[in-house]
Structure 1
Amino acid sequence: MRAARREKLMRVFVTGATGALGRHLVPGLVAAGHQVTATTRSPGKVAQLRAAGAEPVIVDGLDREAVITAVLAAEPDVIVHQMTALAQMRGLRNVDRVFAATNELRTRGTDNLLAAAARAGTRRVVAQGHNFVYERSGGPIKTEEDPVVARPIRSAERTIAAIKYVDRTVPQTAEEGIVLRYGTFYGPGASDPMVEAVRKRQLPIIGGGTGIWSFIHTADAAAATLAAIERGTPGVYNVVDDEPAPVAQWLPYLAEVAGAKPPVRLPAWVGRLLAGEFVVAQMTEVRGASNEKAKKELGWEPRFASWREGFRDWVK
Structure 2
Amino acid sequence: MLVARGHEVFATTRDAAKAERLGATAVVLDPLDRDAVRAAVRDAAPDVVVHQLTALSGTFDLKHFDRFFQQTNVLRTRGLDILLDAAVAAGARRFVAQGYTGWSNARTGGPVKTEADPLDPTPTRASRESLAAIRHIEATVPHTPGIEGIVLRYGSFYGPDNTLGKGGEMAEMIAKRRLPVVGAGTGVWSFIHIDDAARATVLAIESDRTGVYNIVDDEPVPVREWLPYVANVLGARAPMRVPVWLAKMLIGEHGVSMMTKVRGSSNAKASRELGWKPSYPTWRDGFRREFAG
Is TM (by shorter chain) over 0.5?
yes
* Closer/same/farther in 2, CA of residues 232 and 134 from structure 1, 3 Å limit: farther
Counterpart mapping for 1:182-201 below 5 A: 182-191=154-163, 192-201=168-177
1:146 aligns with 2:117: yes
8 A Cα contact 1:203 1:263, kept in partner: yes
Counterpart mapping for 1:217-232 below 5 A: 217-232=193-208
8 A Cα contact 2:148 2:208, kept in partner: no
Which of residues 48, 55, 65 in structure 2 aligns to 1:95? 65
Stretches of structure 2 lacking an aligned partner (at least 5 in a row):
none
After superposition, the C-alpha distances for 1:157-205 in whole angstroms (9 at most, x for unaligned) are: 1011111111111111152110011100000111211110001111110
After superposition, the C-alpha distances for 1:127-146 in whole angstroms (9 at most, x for unaligned) are: 01111221011111100000
Counterpart mapping for 1:1-316 below 5 A: 28-40=1-13, 42=14, 45-132=15-102, 133-173=104-144, 175-191=147-163, 192-316=168-292
8 A Cα contact 2:32 2:75, kept in partner: yes
How far residue 218 of structure 1 moved from its aligned partner, in angstroms, is 0.3
Amino acid paired to 2:37: V
How far residue 305 of structure 1 moved from its aligned partner, in angstroms, is 0.2
8 A Cα contact 1:126 1:177, kept in partner: yes
8 A Cα contact 2:52 2:98, kept in partner: yes
Amino acid paired to 2:186: T
After superposition, the C-alpha distances for 1:102-155 in whole angstroms (9 at most, x for unaligned) are: 000000000001110111011211101111221011111100000111121111
Amino acid paired to 1:142: K
Stretches of structure 1 lacking an aligned partner (at least 5 in a row):
1-27
Corresponding residue for 1:15?
Answer: none
Q: Residue 72 of structure 2 aligns to a residue in which SS?
A: helix
Q: Residue 271 of structure 1 aligns to a residue in which SS?
A: helix
Structure 1: distance between partners of 2:143 and 2:122: 23
Q: Once the two structures are aligned, what percentage of the paired residues are identical?
A: 54
| Length, aligned pairs only | 286
How far residue 212 of structure 1 moved from its aligned partner, in angstroms, is 0.4
Amino acid paired to 1:179: V
Amino acid paired to 1:222: A
Deviates more, 1:90-99 or 1:222-231: 90-99
8 A Cα contact 1:195 1:315, kept in partner: no
8 A Cα contact 1:96 1:158, kept in partner: yes
Measured on the aligned residues, the alpha-carbon RMSD in Å equals: 0.9
How far residue 307 of structure 1 moved from its aligned partner, in angstroms, is 0.5
- Runs of 4+ residues deviating >6 angstroms: none
- What's the TM-score, normalizing by structure 2? 0.96
After superposition, the C-alpha distances for 1:4-63 in whole angstroms (9 at most, x for unaligned) are: xxxxxxxxxxxxxxxxxxxxxxxx0000000000001x2xx1111101100000011111
8 A Cα contact 2:63 2:253, kept in partner: yes
- What's the TM-score, normalizing by structure 1? 0.89
Structure 2: distance between partners of 1:213 and 1:73: 41
